[in-house]
Amino acid sequence: MQTHRSTRTSGLRALAASLCLSCALGAITLAYAAPGAPNDDLQAVDMSQALRDIPPGYMLIEGDIQIRVTDYERYRVAREQSLAAGEDPQPLGTFITTNFWPGGNVAYEFDANVSAANRTTFRSAMDQWEAVANVTFTQCAGNNCTSGDYIHIQSSTGNNSAVGRQGGEQIINIVSWGEMFRQVHELGHALGLYHEQSRTDRDTYVTINWANIQSGKEGNFALESGSGRYGPYDFDSVMHYGRDYFSVNGQDTITVNPPWNAQWQNAIGQRDHLSEMDQLTMSFLYPESDWRFADGNYTGFIELGSFFYPAKTIGNGVTFTPVNGTLWIQPDTYTAPGTYNKAMTWRAPLGGVLIR
């Protein structure tokens, strides 16, 4: 097994070092291709070949997300119910809440149709996520995965991936070998990220221009009510659609709402970097072993100090956090935990934390 890990000292550690209780970073989610740039994912392709490259039992939604046909049927029924009630179609949010890769360990192999140069590029795309999260991509011995869960990367007629760990072999199709951050985007899906504009609060930040969307493609702009999201809306995310995705007439399908439109209308859908919130969110989905979380707004029954099951109080957060660990605190007003003699770091990347 060949394991490759990027040095993280200049990645997330540097980002985390800049965060404090008074800091307020931007949004966090994800985006897609740059406005006006060639969009290989959405161009007409040889569909007979494209469909052969989609795993059996799967189909495509949102242009590049592989989904089980059985899951889509449930999604379709929920969407039709929303439409019948006069509601905005319910979406496919920013990240899943299950089916992550245990310990951040992702085994992979390349198809024989991926050239040596393209393998190097894709390895660099993996490095982007390894640099900011506790994720390790490990190539199977002899480039041949024979058991367990793993991703199979192949050259195809489009860019697409399933969201999160599927079990057994799962395929990532790539056509944009010359654009590394499109590959980063597909890896983001495989690690558990949906599209940014699918988050349930998106209508506050962007307007979907339904009249400009290609007939039959409206579902690509649906929301995902069951997904998770972290932080404010992230126009800069590498997981966000571009302004004219699936346009029928060349006009914008997504309009950024005031007061953000002047800054972001021409910038949504970038494919050249990870936003600060992309980095932070992925680092929380795949955290360091000594990180713990506190969220005063958490209403769940289980309280473990993890990202999905955070402590409800600072006191419990302190208890969960190991010596020299980091406690990440979500916006809220908290009661001071009293006296404790354990060395640790507190961080509040979204600001809005009052301890009294």
Supply the residues annotated as catalytic: 186
**Count of residues in the chain:** 356
Residue 30 per-residue DSSP state = -
Rounded CA separation 189/180 (Å): 15
Rounded CA separation 193/216 (Å): 24
Q: Are 4 and 208 in contact (CB under 8 A)?
A: no
Residue reference for tokens 């991926």: 114
CA 19 to chain centre: 21
Separate counts of helices (H) and strands (E) for the chain: 8, 15
Of 356, 354, 299, 303, which Cα lies nearest the Cα of 332? 354
> Mapped to the 3 state alphabet, what secondary structure does 279-319 carry?
HHHHHHHCCCCCEEEECCCCCCCCCCCCCCCCECCHHHHHH
Residue 49 per-residue DSSP state = H
